[in-house]
């Protein structure tokens, strides 16, 4: 969480979701307030670092699938978060940024990174926005009409677009989440895709409520959802369809392509929906 006191001057006023995740992922881009909140979350959810890692493995699988099998060359990483830790105490392989995964499939993918956290934006500009065909935008995605009018997004509309909403919707209330997904579904050209991950409160509701309470005490809205609520958000009516394997635990998505290590005990779901009519 930050505050802009005067043009060009940013003041840290508390923990930020992106930096808390960076801490949980073994990164080095966090401050005392972030670490304090992260430790409070870990008391309730010691499996959280595993969930962050499982989510980043899914991101690579989903981007590869959408690029290869759906033939999509344009990706918008909504709520991209801090780039993966290059150093620090992260366990497991370094997760690849979206551009690097897409670049393995297509010669010249386009990737736009969007986040409303100025520190994330600074990192995205510095570390990700360096390849031809990439851009970083600092914006509140809930102001979706403004975002779609941004020149770096509006120019994508001539071809299918993959929208990545990985661990983004839990930070919004129902109204914002429904409005953004509905707008993306209506605006996106044929062949487009929407990929999500979303934490669920179905399996350990008391612990999830405790996590939401601890976030709320830090001034951060956090809303895990049930499978039914996640399905309602995606609502893939024609011309959209839910692709196999459906809405499944994130560690199970694309399971044939990787070994399953489900240390988070499956607290999040993943899914990809696709708008019919693409070239692939
Ligand atoms: C939990 S992190 C997920 C990062 C990444 N997508 C991943 O899966 O590893 C959520 C990110 O969404 C960003 N975010 C939350 N609400 C947002 C909004 N309204 N507009 C833009 N970014 C937002 C946060 O700043 C944070 O970087």
What tokens appear for 38 in the block? 């992260």
Q: What is the 8-class DSSP label of residue 238?
A: T
Counting every residue written for the chain, the total comes to 280
Domain boundaries of the chain, sorted by first residue: 47-201+224-275
The residue nearest atom 7 of ligand 1, judged by CA position, is 166
Q: What is the 8-class DSSP label of residue 28?
A: S
* Bond before 245 cis per omega within 30 degrees: yes
The answer to whether the beta carbons of residues 198 and 169 sit under 8 Å apart is yes
What tokens appear for 180 in the block? 């953004």
Tens digit of pLDDT at every position of the chain (280 positions)? 555 556 666 666 789 999 999 898 888 888 899 999 999 999 999 988 888 888 888 999 999 999 999 999 999 999 999 876 554 455 556 677 899 899 999 999 999 999 999 889 888 887 766 678 899 999 999 999 999 999 999 999 999 999 999 999 999 999 999 999 999 999 999 999 999 999 999 989 999 999 999 999 999 999 999 999 999 999 988 999 999 999 999 988 876 655 555 555 578 999 999 999 866 5
Q: Is the CB of 116 under 6 A from ligand 1?
A: yes
Query: What kind and span of H or E run contains 3?
Result: strand 2-6
pLDDT number for residue 224: 97
pLDDT number for residue 156: 97
145 alpha-carbon distance from chain centroid:
19
Q: Is the CB of 81 under 6 A from ligand 1?
A: yes
Report which ligand 1 atom has the smallest distance to the Cα of 141: 20
174 alpha-carbon distance from chain centroid:
17
pLDDT number for residue 132: 80
Topology of domain 47-201+224-275 in CATH is Rossmann fold (3.40.50)
The answer to whether the beta carbons of residues 24 and 53 sit under 8 Å apart is no
pLDDT number for residue 87: 47
pLDDT number for residue 4: 55
Q: Is the CB of 55 under 6 A from ligand 1?
A: yes
pLDDT number for residue 11: 63
* Bond before 239 cis per omega within 30 degrees: yes
CA of 2 to the centre of ligand 1 (A): 14
Q: How many Å apart are CA 280 and CA 266, to the nearest integer?
A: 32
Report which ligand 1 atom has the smallest distance to the Cα of 52: 9
Query: What kind and span of H or E run contains 115?
Result: strand 110-115
3-state secondary structure of 129: coil
Closest-CA residue to 113 (of 159, 145, 144, 82): 82
């Amino acid at each position: 969480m930050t505050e802009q006191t005067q043009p060009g001057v940013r003041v840290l006023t508390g923990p930020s979701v992106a930096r808390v995740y960076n801490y949980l992922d073994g990164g080095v881009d966090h401050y005392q307030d972030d670490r304090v909140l992260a430790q409070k979350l870990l008391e309730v959810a010691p499996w959280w670092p595993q969930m962050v890692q499982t989510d980043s493995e899914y991101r690579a699988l989903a981007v590869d699938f959408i690029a290869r099998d759906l033939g999509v060359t344009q990706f918008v990483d909504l709520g991209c978060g801090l780039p993966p830790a290059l150093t620090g105490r992260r366990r497991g392989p370094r997760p690849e940024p979206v551009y690097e995964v897409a670049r393995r499939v297509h010669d010249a993918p386009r990737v736009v990174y969007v986040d409303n956290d100025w520190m994330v934006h600074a990192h995205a500009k510095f570390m990700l926005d360096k390849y031809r065909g990439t851009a970083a935008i600092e914006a509140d995605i809930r102001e979706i009409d403004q975002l779609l009018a941004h020149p770096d997004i509006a120019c994508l509309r001539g071809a299918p677009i993959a929208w990545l909403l990985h661990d983004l919707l839990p930070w919004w209330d129902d109204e914002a989440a429904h409005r953004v997904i509905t707008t993306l579904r209506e605006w996106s050209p044929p062949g487009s895709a929407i990929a999500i991950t979303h934490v669920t409160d179905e399996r350990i509701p008391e612990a999830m409520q405790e996590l939401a309470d601890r976030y709320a005490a830090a001034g951060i809205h956090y809303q895990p959802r049930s499978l039914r609520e996640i399905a309602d958000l995606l609502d893939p009516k024609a011309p959209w369809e839910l692709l196999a394997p459906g809405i499944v635990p994130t560690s199970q998505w694309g399971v044939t392509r990787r070994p399953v290590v489900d240390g988070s005990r499956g607290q999040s779901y993943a899914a990809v929906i696709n708008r019919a009519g693409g070239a692939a």
